[in-house]
A and B are shown apart, each in its own frame.
Chain A
């Protein structure tokens, strides 16, 4: 594998660092009385509000429907996700150093798998928040209504329009994956031209 290909692999691996510092996902909430909007940013290591108090304010509103509090401390994924991403970066750098196409393929497979598992896990959390309601303490009860936010796209939840979209961290992961896949494709063995 050429030096240039290995350099590109290293760049791709380092791109994953973006997923450590940039939000992986964003959920924005708008309602008639919230023209300025409320929103959450999901990072590898935490969940924060888009504005300083958004998380508390969303939790405050959610108490009306009996939703659990969103507390980053209670989400174990936020503890080990940074380590997984760190491992991906190191593995990617190692593969770039060795220039192994089999290694590249394995790395791609792992990233793809983690991506699918991650999205499923995220959906699972959203399902839990949206369905596992404390009906004894819920104040607003709409029969049959659940409050699972969308994984991607827009959904109406009572007076709130919730919109979820990948954040720049997820974009960095995606670019890293595409770049690595590109290197894998371009460096495929070609039949010698006589």
Chain B
């Protein structure tokens, strides 16, 4: 009875509050009746789109299905990932090598799908490391990072890795100008020494990413970029802020000028100048890391020079378009005609016209030069301004119907407006403080449309609270009608800055289900129990081990001594989809291994004290997974325990497969050294 009264009182107070208009406006009102149905993907059914969200400070990429918002995968890129050993294994460590040494972390910002004719082609996904400028390539048949190129003469590789319409280049322009080359100078001498660099990286051949050339720009902050397409193909556009060239108190000192610039780069002209020898070759030190397919092992190569082009050595290659104010995003509409600036402190959304820009260049409608780069007159290039769009415009994407959608960080909304008339058509509040937004194909020549995803920085009360550090979020909004409709809201990992999406049909049937054991050319592969064994090379003990449902071979190892480094080379000899095995040893100070079928992975272990250490399979593989274990005995140095590997006979069924597989090089030597323990 008492409880009931309390309930009644509570309901009553709610009604009073609602009547008085108290409380925040209920976001529920944004959701129309059938929203749940439109994002519901029934058990066993597939999403229509793959979306790829950067993980920001997690250094990873995440893959979500749309419209369900279900997390499908985390792809490690610039950060060590103990979950599968990425960055810990002998095969993957080289991916994280840089000129600064081994870096276990970076900050991923902008995923970019490779493109053909201005649209995603489903081959690769590129993403930048912002802190220590790098560009990574992820193969979309394996969802693995298989190449990383470091960018020299760079810091804060933020305007990256935006891709040209046919993936000729991905770019890296830098948010922090630095002395080039980077030497010890007084920071007060910023204007004299600091430069910005725009790097053009050849992207079309896996394993061969390379810096074609860098353009050395005035020491501003280069924030974001987009390739021209269709009408403007052959050009690249970068936003700049801090044209004040401040080096301290930037929030104030870099916000003084009414206009900063969009740098328009005619990359075909720059390419021609480089081909004509107008770039100088500069000593540099950077790394190119990539995976050799046959061994699935990454190598890191050192590069020692880079071609650098001064804009003054290549007239006609670079122009500045004045743009209000401290522009962040620059986005090109599907026709390639409109260049939309996201002046984060501007009260309008300025839109430049590519046609007008070309005419202005021809007519030399310039307002002087900056470091030899012509500045085009604002009136000669501006096509229109979206008036009163909201506060803090950042990024714009497009549908296929001539509409643009701009994210508003400060007023926390998406604003839909019309290209050409510049009128605001609709607004959708988002929760809270949106950064990028993403329409599938919305940066391409023929957007798929259907949805816009808001990538929000702040969630506060949107989900069940989890202490002080809260998730960020993505919101899915239907854009198929005249009015935007909120559909779904889901938490994300790390800080997704930007995202890309493509129709699942483009890649889902191209997935590699397992690696061919026959073609595995890893130097320590074991394709069957007969190939397995242990060998000692001084203080190194190499264990060639196989994993198959449900055992390791060898599973009893003796004769390891304190002071040894044990190399566990574990081959998953399964040739079946989704049959993974894991490996971990008691007290291992690195990470576990996850071996995909047909793959060899190596982790090192340096036991510190004598004893017996169990190891086991960490990825639940089969009904006898709990039995998939073994022991390694560690003895005191000089104890004289013979190195042996227990390779007890396995059932004939499991041996049958071995006969058809090639013997590994040196495999017999290993077998000869090892001693069977029956």
Which chain A residues have a beta carbon within 8 Å of chain B's beta carbons?
36, 52-53, 56-57, 59-60, 62-64, 66-71, 134, 137, 139-140
Closest-CB distance, A25 to chain B (whole angstroms): 20
User: Are B576 and A62 touching (Cβ within 8 A)?
Assistant: no
Which of B220-228, B258-266, B654-662 participates in binding chain A? Answer: B654-662
- A64 CA to B653 CA, complexed, in Å: 9
Write the residues of chain B forming the contact surface with A, with a CB cutoff of 8 angstroms.
Answer: 548-550, 574-577, 623-624, 650-657
In the complex, 16 of the A-B residue pairs with CB atoms within 8 angstroms, ordered by the A residue number, are A57-B574, A57-B575, A57-B576, A59-B656, A59-B657, A60-B549, A60-B576, A60-B653, A62-B653, A63-B651, A69-B654, A69-B655, A69-B656, A71-B656, A134-B652, A140-B623
Decide: A64 near B624, CB < 8 A? Known: A53-B576, A56-B575, A57-B575: yes
Of the residues B575, B650, B652, B654, contact of A53 by C-beta under 8 Å: B575
A60-B654 in contact (CB<8A): yes
Chain B residue numbers with a CB within 8 Å of A60 are: 548-549, 574, 576, 653-654, 657
Complex Cα distance, B575 from A137, in Å, reads 23
Please indicate the chain A residues that have their CB under 8 angstroms from the CB of B549 in the complex. Answer: 60
Question: Interface centre among B574, B575, B655, by most A CB within 10 Å?
Answer: B575
Which secondary structure dominates chain B's binding surface? loop
Identify whether the interface residues of A are mostly helix, strand, loop, or mixed.
loop
Interchain CA distance A51-B651 in the complex, whole Å: 23
B549, B550, B651, B657: which has the most chain A beta carbons within 10 Å? B651
A70: B residues at CB distance < 8 A:
656
Which residue of chain B has its CB nearest to the CB of A69? B656
Q: Is B624 touching A139 in the complex (CB atoms < 8 A)? A: yes
Q: Name the one of B548, B623, B653 contacting A67, with C-beta atoms under 8 angstroms.
A: B653
Query: In the assembly, what is the distance between CA of A64 and CA of B548, in Å?
Result: 12
Q: Please, which residue of chain A has its CB at the minimum distance from the CB of B598? A: A53
With A64-B624, A139-B624, A140-B623 given, is the CB distance from A59 to B653 under 8 Å?
yes
From A52, A63, A140, contact of B653 by CB (8 A): A63
For the complex formed, measure the closest distance between the CB of B594 and the CB atoms of chain A, giving whole angstroms. 19
Q: Quote the shortest CB–CB distance from B579 to chain A (angstroms).
A: 9
Task: Determine if B656 and A56 form an interchain contact, defined as CB atoms under 8 angstroms apart.
Answer: yes
Beyond A53-B576, A68-B652: 11 further Cβ-contacts under 8 Å?
Answer: A53-B575, A57-B574, A60-B576, A63-B650, A63-B651, A64-B624, A69-B652, A69-B653, A69-B656, A70-B656, A140-B623
CA distance A27 to B28 in the complex (A): 55
Residue in B655, B656, B657 whose Cβ sees the most chain A Cβ within 10 Å: B656
CA distance A42 to B516 in the complex (A): 24
Check B623 against A64 for contact (C-beta < 8 Å).
yes
Minimal Cβ-Cβ distance residue in A for B513: A36
Pair A36/B577 contact, Cβ less than 8 Å? yes
Give B341 Cβ to nearest chain A Cβ, in Å.
50
Please, which residues of chain A bring their CB within 8 A of the CB of B575?
A: 52-53, 56-57
How far apart sit A69 and B528, CA to CA, in the bound complex (Å)?
Answer: 15
Contact B576 A134 (CB under 8 A): no
A36 to B576, CA, bound (A): 11
The residue of chain A having its C-beta at the shortest distance from the C-beta of B660 within the complex is: A56
Q: How far is the CA of A154 from the CA of B452 in the complex (A)?
A: 49
Residues of A within 8 A of B656 (CB): 56, 59, 69-71
Whole-angstrom CA separation of A60 from B575 in the bound complex: 10
**Closest chain A residue to B649, Cβ basis:** A137
